[in-house]
Amino acid sequence: DAGVIQSPRHEVTEMGQEVTLRCKPISGHDYLFWYRQTMMRGLELLIYFNNNVPIDDSGMPEDRFSAKMPNASFSTLKIQPSEPRDSAVYFCASSFPTGGEAFFGQGTRLTVV
Amino acid sequence: ELKVEQNPLFLSMQEGKNYTIYCNYSTTSDRLYWYRQDPGKSLESLFVLLSNGAVKQEGRLMASLDTKARLSTLHITAAVHDLSATYFCAVDRAVHSGGGADGLTFGKGTHLIIQP
């Protein structure tokens, strides 16, 4: 398996624009997680899915953030409208349900100017 | 709210020395993970610790878990430059029914520099 695949790797956008981040989890993994990493706040869990169903979105910072998982092989994280404080590295990760570690994608470095 | 604290946050050491990174967490859990992150890169899984007393070793790294003390350690033996990286511990509360994953809460990371 190629691992967790994220796109794009880098995104630069202007404040107010819509941004969509994409993730393909490892085949067969039941769980998909979205994390955000910043210098100030470290690694934060935003939302996670189990079998394509959102389980906990309490980490989503604002209503400007939304995530979907229409099928087992694809998820999106959308920010609309984007703001400079959304600049961060966004990681997608997937795992089996019980005890297994989460495998992380390469991340999307988002810069909002 | 689950809190995960690592110390030290920064560590500079010389090759050949031994050192230990500590990870304390605030709530009951028996799922603890250690990750490595190189600058500008993703997170790489190092160890999965799933029970009290678990000990795992890989090369010069050894991790252990004491769930009663809510403490995990990552021990580095005879450090080499290639081990320079940021090391994170992470805890899964696993509170949902069926023992399924619940997402990871990460410590702030230990930035390790190993000098020749």
pLDDT of residue A49: 94
Amino acid identity of B72? S
Contact B49, B33 (CB under 8 A): yes
Q: How confident is the model at residue B29 (pLDDT cuts 50, 70, 90)?
A: confident
CA distance B18 to chain A (A): 27
SS3 B97: helix
Determine whether the interchain pair A42/B102 forms a contact, defined as Cβ–Cβ distance below 8 Å: no
Please give the pLDDT value at position B97: 47
Q: How confident is the model at residue B66 (pLDDT cuts 50, 70, 90)?
A: very high
Enter the tokens of residue A86: 């959304």
Q: What is the mean pLDDT of residues B82-106?
A: 81
Any idea what DSSP says for residue A57?
-
| Residue in B closest to A40 by C-alpha | B108
When pLDDT is averaged across residues A36-56 and rounded to a whole number, the result is 94
Q: B43 falls in which pLDDT band (50, 70, 90)?
A: very high
B100 vs A contacts (CB less than 8 Å): 31, 50, 97-98
Is residue B71 within 8 A of residue B104, CB to CB? The reply is no
